[in-house]
């Protein structure tokens, strides 16, 4: 399997995706400032490697990631790539003390207003087109209707109700039915809300960040089998669980956007030891493992410069021994029912 191999989003909506995509969160200055030169270098390296699926969001640097994508898009054949962005956060001009950077640094003077209504979806979509400098995006994703983002299950549930009761879902389906966009879905940090959304509407895909990795496989219980059954694509974000599956259990390692707790550090050390016994780096196992599940169409690791993109592409295609996966399962470090890559 190569990063540039192409698959379809789903049988009923043949939107092409390369098996590796490009995740745009780091280009919004996630945790640290990224220079414009490095950002453009990362995007151009992805294009040169044959990657043709690119994902971003208004949240990522309060528009900075979308703007950086827009710069790169000026030199690309728009028809040759698939582009996704998200709705749910409107970016509003504000006073300096009102800026809401979330996890991003060196951001424009904007504050986030959550809005999943009909008007909110349409306004967010139009603003994204302007920042991206394009006439259309291919996939529009509902962003962060989850407990992680809103602080409680009740608050997340209120956002889901807003999406359906205040017309946001209707706006998405109208855009899809009119051919303005090609597919709709959600981009979230929890598989449970994806499963709920599947019961409420006709979604084509879910961008699931960090919830199906070498460290976490609870999504195997019901959500991933349901996606296979319903022909719904999973776009896998956060394959490194915010970093620790790339860096290993080093001082300062991050897990789920925060410093990794001791029990996660210990589990990662054990996984690293099994990988080392097979001559495999942890980052290689982490990136390739997720592609073993038939629901996962593409994985979108982040990168902050050309070298990281090139490294991800190389990691993705290197053959790994089948015994690695069986040994991880024998050590109870990987679920026994987890599908693993074949001949990859």
pTM of the model: 0.95
**What span, in angstroms and rounded, lies between the C-alpha atoms of 11 and 95?**
47
pLDDT in tens, 241-254: 988 999 999 999 99
Please tell me the total number of residues recorded for the chain in this structure. 344
pLDDT at position 94: 97
pLDDT at position 177: 97
CA 257, 262, 265, 267 dihedral sign is: negative
Residue 114 token pair: 């959550």
pLDDT in tens, 138-191: 999 999 999 999 999 999 999 999 999 999 999 999 999 999 999 999 999 999
Residue 288 token pair: 């390739």
Selected catalytic residue, list 53, 86, 144, 146? 86
What are residue 298's DSSP bridge partners?
235
Selected catalytic residue, list 38, 53, 60, 146? 60
pLDDT by residue, tens only, the chain of 344 residues: 899 999 999 878 889 999 999 999 999 999 899 999 999 999 999 999 999 999 999 999 999 999 999 999 999 999 999 999 999 999 999 999 999 999 999 999 999 999 999 999 999 999 999 999 999 999 999 999 999 999 999 999 999 999 999 999 999 999 999 999 999 999 999 999 999 999 999 999 999 999 999 999 999 999 999 999 999 999 999 999 988 999 999 999 999 888 999 999 999 999 999 999 999 999 999 999 999 999 999 999 989 999 999 999 999 999 999 999 999 999 999 999 999 998 64
86 is catalytic: yes
CA 5, 208, 273, 321 dihedral sign is: negative
Taking a C-beta distance cutoff of 8 angstroms, is the pair 10, 51 a contact?
Answer: no
Residue 62 token pair: 């309060």
Domains within the chain, CATH numbers bracketed: 6-330 (3.20.20.100)
**What span, in angstroms and rounded, lies between the C-alpha atoms of 106 and 30?**
9
Residue 216 token pair: 């976490």
pLDDT in tens, 223-240: 999 999 999 999 999 999
CA angle 150, 263, 103 (to 5 degrees): 35
What are residue 302's DSSP bridge partners?
23
pLDDT at position 343: 60
Selected catalytic residue, list 38, 53, 55, 146? 55
Taking a C-beta distance cutoff of 8 angstroms, is the pair 89, 112 a contact?
Answer: yes
pLDDT at position 12: 81
**Residue reference for tokens 């309060």:** 62
Taking a C-beta distance cutoff of 8 angstroms, is the pair 63, 32 a contact?
Answer: no
């Amino acid at each position: 399997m190569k990063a540039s191999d192409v698959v379809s989003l789903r049988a009923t909506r043949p939107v092409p995706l390369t098996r590796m995509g490009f995740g745009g969160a780091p280009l919004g200055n996630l945790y640290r400032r990224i220079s414009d030169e490095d950002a453009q270098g990362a995007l151009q390296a992805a294009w040169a490697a044959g990657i043709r699926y690119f994902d971003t969001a208004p949240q990522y640097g309060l528009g900075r990631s979308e703007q950086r994508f827009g710069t790169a898009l000026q030199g690309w054949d728009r028809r040759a790539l698939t582009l996704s962005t998200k709705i749910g956060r409107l970016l509003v001009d504000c006073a300096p003390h009102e800026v809401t950077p979330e996890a991003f640094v060196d951001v424009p003077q904007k504050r986030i207003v959550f809005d999943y209504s009909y008007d909110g979806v349409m306004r967010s979509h139009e603003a994204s087109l302007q920042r991206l400098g394009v006439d259309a995006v291919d996939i529009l994703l509902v962003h962060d209707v989850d407990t992680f983002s809103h602080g409680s299950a009740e608050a997340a549930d209120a956002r889901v109700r807003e999406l359906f009761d205040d017309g946001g879902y209707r706006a998405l389906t109208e855009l899809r039915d009119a051919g303005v966009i090609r597919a709709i879905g959600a981009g979230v940090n929890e598989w449970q809300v994806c499963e709920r959304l599947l019961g409420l509407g006709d979604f084509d895909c879910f961008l699931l960040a960090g919830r199906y990795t070498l460290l976490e496989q609870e999504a195997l219980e019901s959500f991933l089998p349901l996606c296979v059954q319903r022909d719904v694509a999973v776009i896998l974000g956060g394959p490194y669980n915010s970093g620790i599956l790339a860096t290993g259990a080093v001082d300062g390692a991050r897990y789920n956007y925060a410093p990794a707790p001791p029990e996660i550090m210990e589990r990662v050390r054990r996984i690293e030891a099994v990988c080392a016994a097979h001559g495999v780096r942890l980052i290689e196992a982490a990136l390739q493992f997720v592609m073993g599940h038939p629901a996962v169409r593409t994985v979108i690791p982040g990168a902050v410069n050309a070298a990281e993109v090139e490294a991800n592409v190389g990691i993705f295609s290197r053959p790994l021994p089948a015994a690695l996966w069986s040994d991880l399962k024998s050590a109870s470090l990987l679920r026994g029912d987890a599908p693993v890559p074949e001949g990859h």
